Structure 1
Amino acid sequence: MTFAAPKLDELPEVTAEIAAHAAEHDRTGDLPWPGLEIAHRAGLLTATVGTRFGGPGLGHRDTARILTALGEGDASVALLAANNLGTHAAQAVHPSWPAAAYDDLLRRSEKGPALANAVRAEPELGAPARGGLPKTALTRDGDGWLLNGRKAYATGGTGLAYHVVWAVTDDDRVGHAIVAGDNDGITWVDTWDHIGLRASNTHDVIYENVRLPLDAFVEIPRGADGVYRDPAAATGPGSFGHPALYIGVARAARSAFAEYARHRVPAALGRPIAETERIQSVAGEIDLQIVQAETLLHGALLRLEAGDPGLLPELSAIKVAIARSVIAATQTAVAALGNPGLSRHNPLERHLRDALCIRVHPPQEDAVLLASGRRVLKKESEK
């Protein structure tokens, strides 16, 4: 199998095509298959497939460019793509899937959009990054496993070709089960009725005696001290895919604001509001926040590529700063327009709803500020 490298200079055209379907799927909540098909044809859903598997093996900065373009078109498409690209990128660096399962995912990816995603949160546990272990269990059964449990916030829903399910075995090992989405015993519960990312199908899923081969379990080793640490709570270059897509949402808000300002001509003014200094200043503030977010994102990735060790403790804080800028940009656009900015007839309100979702991705702001503050105070006390 061979996957061609996407043509990054054609990303603006892909953005425009995907954007044409975004409002409809936001209203219906249906999986955004038209947008996913467009992304698939452009080679964007397989851009991080490793070269050892016949893929282009794109790096973090090019992946960020792709996700920003997709986010500018449709945030739900971009979220599904981000999770998929992250799965392929992880497999490229540390192959851990059973060979047959990953080959199957790649074969499906040749024919059309084939999505994979980590399925981790649980109704009782909440966000895994906050600590705790899952109740979802793998029990030995002959020469394989039986998977049982309920997961929440499983982004991709019935569109997932593969689930990477966080679970505990009956001998107390922690890891992920690689589960084909069409296995018997999987039931979806339509729980997703969210303010933003409405087409992402982030529903609950129940696993009831789902039979899996023995090699479907991929163990996550505990630390040297015997403590299990959730890998989702660690911030690395691969975790910047989510911030990248929300920068695209902020870009879309900037465009929607400018479009409205160029065409809005109040009778009392007699000319477009885009010609007033007030609106020009607002547009400048929106642009400043987006420039700041993009510079933080790509600057951090460039420093990581250069091997800057001093950046690692700051990565979580950079993600928080990007989130603040994205939300500030969209809120500024909406606030300046008043009622029109909150109307369902204006895409700005959708962009604001989607932008607010950046806060839910780990690590959350309160945890980051606490850890950063403790690090600073400890450092200062040691001087």
Structure 2
Amino acid sequence: MRSHLFTEDHELFRATVREFITREVAPHLEEWERAGHIEPDLWRTAGELGLLGLGVPEEYGGGGSDDYRFRCVLMEGLARVGAAAVNVVFGGFDDLVGPYLVDLGTPQQKLQWLPGLCAGELGAAIAMTEPGAGSDLRGIRTTAVREADHWVLNGSKTFITGGARADVVVTVARTAEQEFSLFLVDGKTPGFTRGRALDKLGQRAEDVSELFFEDVHVPAENLLGTEGAGFGHLMERLPKERMSIAYYGLAAAEAALDWTVAYTKERRAFGKPIAQFQHTTFALAELATEIDVTRAYLDRAVLALNEGELTAVDAAKAKWWATELQNRVVTRCLQLHGGYGYMREYPIARAFVDARATTIYGGTTEIMKSIVGRELVRD
């Protein structure tokens, strides 16, 4: 079922995205996977093409569009070549750090960081997760204590995407017993250090690191947003992050199905293409139906996000359903590839391991169901 989500402008943008991915991404994926990081030149090229900071105002070097469908076009293009790790890093700025700076930053903070980030010359990360606090953000133990004209941060973070190369880190810290605040931590600040690069199952080209804060002195003007309102700031922006994970999950499922349909038409067994066996056609029919039904819901959710009407509950529904769908689809598609599906030279193999994280990061499936369930039983 063809999506009616996109207009002619989006299709023109898709041509730019396709050329960028064909030339700058697809040929290097295996190299980046082996190295465990993406070459920085990719981000400078993306910046030159206007692919970074799509929602950042033009005066700060961004695309100046609040239409999330352009981001969806980029996600679809990356999913077609199995570039999940590249998408996560794009999303780290466009869906996380960028909106925080645009919505909450002072003019000085925006001028200091956004132009360089949109140009791909600087890197950014957001540091929420800690060794003892994942989906439960209220368990954060990193502290920030005010001393004269600065704050002193102490604590640690883990599973931080982009942490190794981040020039600025949006850091969540406890500023009172029941209050959290957000801080812009310059990567060169004394006392701020980066730990080991974490060895992940999938998305291996994505840089994920530990971060440590030991008496890190952050100027008072680096407070992002309102003191004590950090938890509210996070809750207001998590729907966009979860929508991003959901949409890429759907795009990855669509790509996996397309690869598998093509493979089953070519692969022969017992004298005919395996696509002609009833088991294969039934499996493909089931996957296509689930994907189309999910597409209908996510298209509506994207339009709601554009209008500022996507609720946390609806984003949670989209996130858990689409990522669980992604995992079901890639698992069954790998099975239909037979032994070749287990070989990394086939994109379905990378898609299989890359998908496993999507039901975990951005809030686990169980947390998403809790959000939906609480709303249902609320008095």
TM-score after normalising by structure 2: 0.83
Separation (CA, whole Å) in 2 of partners of 1:228 and 1:54: 28
Sequence identity of aligned pairs in percent? 20
Change (3 A) 1:194 1:89: same
Give the Å deviation of 1:280.
4.1
Task: Name the amino acid aligned to 1:241.
Answer: S
Deviation at 1:35, TM superposition (A): 4.6
Q: Who is 2:129 aligned against? A: 121
Which of 252, 261, 264 is the equivalent residue of 2:255? 252
Does the 8 Å contact 1:136/1:147 carry over to 2? yes
Distance 1:171 1:28, change over 3 A: same
**Structure 1: stretches of 5+ with no match in the other structure:** none
User: Contact between 1:115 and 1:161, CA under 8 Å: does it hold in 2?
Assistant: yes
Alignment of 1:262-341 (within 5 A): 262-266=265-269, 268-269=270-271, 271-274=272-275, 276-305=277-306, 313-341=313-341
**Separation of aligned partners in 2, 1:47 and 1:352:** 29
Residue 73 (structure 2) pairs with residue 65 (structure 1): yes
Given the superposition, is the C-alpha separation of residues 282 and 66 from structure 1 closer, same or farther in structure 2, using an over 3 Å criterion?
A: same
| 1:128-147 matched pairs, under 5 angstroms | 129-147=135-153
Match among 29, 45, 61 for residue 52 of structure 2: 45
Identify if the C-alpha distance between structure 1 residues 21 and 143 changes in structure 2 by more than 3 Å, giving closer, same or farther.
same
Which range moves more in the overlay, 61-70 or 145-154? 61-70
Q: Distance in 2 between matches of 1:76 and 1:364?
A: 19
Q: Report the CA distance shift for 1:204/1:147 in structure 2 as closer, same or farther (over 3 A).
A: same
Structure 1 SS opposite 2:221: helix
Distance 1:273 1:172, change over 3 A: closer
Structure 2 partner of 1:149:
155
CA deviation after TM superposition for structure 1 residue 197, in Å: 1.6
Cα pair distance change 1:315/1:142, threshold 3 Å: closer
Counterpart for residue 353 of structure 2: 353
CA positional deviation for 1:177: 1.2
Q: Contact conserved, 1:45 with 1:113, CA < 8 A, in 2?
A: no
Matched, 1:30 2:37: yes
Match of 1:342 in 2: 342
Distance 1:339 1:232, change over 3 A: farther
- Range moving further from structure 2, 297-306 or 318-327: 297-306
- 1:297: how far off? 1.6
Mapped partners of 1:372, 1:273: distance in 2: 41
Partner of 2:6: none
Return the letter of the residue paired with 1:204: E
| Letter aligned with residue 301 of structure 2 | A
2:110 match: 102
- The one-letter amino acid paired with 1:78 is N
In 1, the alpha carbon distance for the partners of 2:219 and 2:228 equals: 23
CA gap of 1:205–1:27, structure 2 versus 1, over 3 A, is same
1:163 aligns with 2:169: yes
**Letter of the structure 1 residue corresponding to residue 370 of structure 2:** L
Question: Secondary structure of 1:132's partner?
Answer: helix
- Structure 2 residue 140 is the aligned partner of structure 1 residue 91: no
Counterpart contact for 2:168–2:186, Cα < 8 Å: yes
Distance 1:41 1:136 in 2: 37
Contact 1:178–1:216 (8 Å) recurs in 2: yes
Deviation at 1:64, TM superposition (A): 2.4
Q: Is the 8 A contact 1:23 1:347 kept in 2?
A: no
- Cα RMSD, aligned residues only: 3.2
Cα distance, 1:120 vs structure 2:
0.9
After TM superposition, the structure 1 stretch with the greater mean CA deviation from structure 2, 242-251 or 275-284, is 275-284
Does the CA contact (< 8 Å) of 1:221 and 1:228 recur in 2? no
Deviations 1:334-380 (A, max 9, x none): 1222322122232212101111211113343223333433443557x
Distance in 1 (alpha carbons) for counterparts of 2:303 and 2:232: 27
Name the structure 2 match of 1:76. Answer: 85
How far apart are 1:208 and its partner, in Å?
Answer: 2.4
1:142 and 1:81 map into 2 onto residues whose CA distance is 37
Structure 1, residues 202-231: CA drift from partner, whole Å, max 9, x if none?
A: 1101122333221112255668xxx95572
Which one of the candidate residues 173, 187, 192 is aligned to 2:193? 187
Tell whether the 8 Å contact from 1:61 to 1:298 is kept in structure 2 after alignment: no
Unaligned runs of 5+ in 2: 1-9
How many angstroms apart in 1 are the aligned matches of 2:142 and 2:307?
Answer: 40
Distance 2:35 2:287 in 1: 29
Aligned to 1:199, the other structure's residue is in SS state: coil
**Secondary structure class of the residue paired with 1:158:** coil
The amino acid that maps onto 1:214 is A
> Is this contact kept in 2: 1:48–1:56, CA < 8 A?
yes
After TM superposition, give the deviation of residue 175 of structure 1 in Å.
0.8
- Whole-Å separation in 2 of the counterparts to 1:109 and 1:235: 21
